[in-house]
Structure 1
Amino acid sequence: MSVDLLNWKILECLQQNARQSNAEIGRNVGISSPAVSERIRKMEDLGIITGYKTMVSPFEVGYQLNAIITIRAFMGKLKPFLQIVKSYDEVLNCYRITGNENIVMEVVLKNQKHLEQFIDKLISYGETKTQIVLSNVIENAPINKIR
């Protein structure tokens, strides 16, 4: 199954609101509800659609700081870090990258003290650099921007 123009339209609808009904998506893209359901099922089976999630505002649930932290891992510390980072609740995203740093993470923290405590957990794995996020310019950009 290829991701044809109709599939891209369905994906765009789902990315805007994954809770809308297949009938509503069908009206938006010009096909029947059963046809939408079948296309979505096929895209799920093929791994094109990998899941659905609820977006929660960290700010509204008490996390006042959003930060980007990079780590330049010490010799022999990268693999242990890659295992332990999965247990850190503060980490929203973690990427292994090229360049001087090995890791870049997006984290949410309650306050400055929480940031300090979190960095203290990281410094045994490598040198850290922290930037505080002021605002989000592009939020959850839909993947169809790259088609």
Structure 2
Amino acid sequence: MAVDALDTRILRLLLEQPRTSAREYARILGVARGTLQARLDRLERHGVITGTGPSLSPAALGHPVLAFVHIEVTQGHLDEVGDALAAVPEIIEAFSITGGGDLLTRVVARDNAHLEDVIQQLIQLPGVVRTRTEVALRERVPHRLLPLVESIGRSTRVPERPR
């Protein structure tokens, strides 16, 4: 989907001021509320905007340990293992990958002992051959999308015609 300058401004506001009303967004942007709503609906329909819920901190919820667990799966059992991972609450994301392993999971834990318990639980899942764990020490770049949105907005701007 092509994202134009107005879409970029809307997405920036959503990321920077997520609790603002649509009426206030329209006022800030200098557009009619109907225009804003039509743009938001289109961005949602095309999957650019995927949710409006709060962003939660696992650390603040008592799970400060973050690890990335690579899982190697017996051939033909990827879907089964993927489904089983959904039942483990400490797994907050899981992806099928290429390279060293079949799945990459993002796992949170209360402490290192709890992380070990979660990994042992993963190893016992039918179809799991082995795991490899990397513990995150410090977040260097927090999850962000604004720089990407801005770079897309810059690349889609129509150059001004010479006068």
Q: TM-score, normalised by structure 1?
A: 0.87
Question: Which entry has the higher C-alpha Rg, 1 or 2?
Answer: 2
Give ranges in structure 1 of 5+ residues lacking alignment. Answer: none
Letter in 1 for 2:129: G
Q: TM-score, normalised by structure 2?
A: 0.79
Which residue pairs with 1:38 in the alignment? Answer: 38
Which residue pairs with 2:94 in the alignment? Answer: 94
Rounded Cα–Cα distance in structure 1 between residues aligned with 2:61 and 2:113? 17
Rounded Cα–Cα distance in structure 1 between residues aligned with 2:129 and 2:24? 50
Which residue pairs with 1:141 in the alignment? Answer: 144
Which residue pairs with 1:128 in the alignment? Answer: 131
RMSD over aligned CA atoms reads 2.0
String of CA shifts for 1:77-100, please: whole Å, max 9, x gaps.
Answer: 423211101111111111110012
Rounded Cα–Cα distance in structure 2 between residues aligned with 1:135 and 1:27? 39
State the secondary structure of the residue aligned to 1:23.
helix
CA contact (8 A) 1:74 1:127 kept: no
State the secondary structure of the residue aligned to 1:101.
coil
Which residue pairs with 2:71 in the alignment? Answer: 71
Rounded Cα–Cα distance in structure 2 between residues aligned with 1:145 and 1:82? 34
Which residue pairs with 1:112 in the alignment? Answer: 112
State the secondary structure of the residue aligned to 2:86.
helix
String of CA shifts for 1:51-110, please: whole Å, max 9, x gaps.
Answer: 112111211221121111111223444232111011111111111100121111111111
Which residue pairs with 2:9 in the alignment? Answer: 9
Letter in 2 for 1:92: I
Rounded Cα–Cα distance in structure 2 between residues aligned with 1:58 and 1:29? 34
